[in-house]
Amino acid sequence: MVMASVAKHTAIVAIACFNFLPITMTVANLLISRHQSAIALANFLTFQAKSRNVEDKSCNFPHQSCNVEDKNRNVQDKNRNVEAKRRNFQDKSRNVRDKSCKLQALNSNLQALRCKFRLLKVNSWLFFSVT
């Protein structure tokens, strides 16, 4: 881009010289030719700079596709994490149910022991009251 602006500036200076200085037709034609060359060079350099910008942008596309792949992987990881959390929750719920069942079994055993104790009391009372 710098070269393009230098070429344009040179062309402008050449035209300024052409307008203010008394010069021959040969010099005038030479200045016009140089002016046209400078403009052509400026246009070429501008085009080249734009092409480089397009190339630079196209070089970013593979990185962008990598970013898309990374995002997809992140989404998959998040889905796996959600699934793992769901399974953990189910496991905890099962554990709570298991503990509840064990507690009910313990309560049943306790009631059975109380009944046995009462029977023993009654039997011992009967035994001692008979004798």
In angstroms and rounded to an integer, the radius of gyration of the C-alpha atoms of the chain is: 48
pLDDT at 28: 63
pLDDT at 15: 63
How far is the C-alpha of 84 from the C-alpha of 121, rounded, in Å?
55
pLDDT at 62: 61
With helix as H, strand as E and coil as C, how does the chain read?
Answer: CHHHHHHHHHHHHHHHHHHHCCCCHHHHHHHHHHHHHHHHHHHHHHHHHHHHHHHHHHHHHHHHHHHHHHHHHHHHHHHHHHHHHHHHHHHHHHHHHHHHHHHHHHHHHHHHHHHHHHHHHHHHHHHHHHC
pLDDT at 49: 80
pLDDT at 75: 92
pLDDT at 46: 81
pLDDT at 21: 61
pLDDT at 18: 58
How far is the C-alpha of 44 from the C-alpha of 1, rounded, in Å?
10
pLDDT at 44: 82
pLDDT at 87: 92
Q: Mean pLDDT, 10 residues at a time, over the chain (131 residues)?
A: 63 63 64 74 80 73 70 92 93 89 89 88 76 59
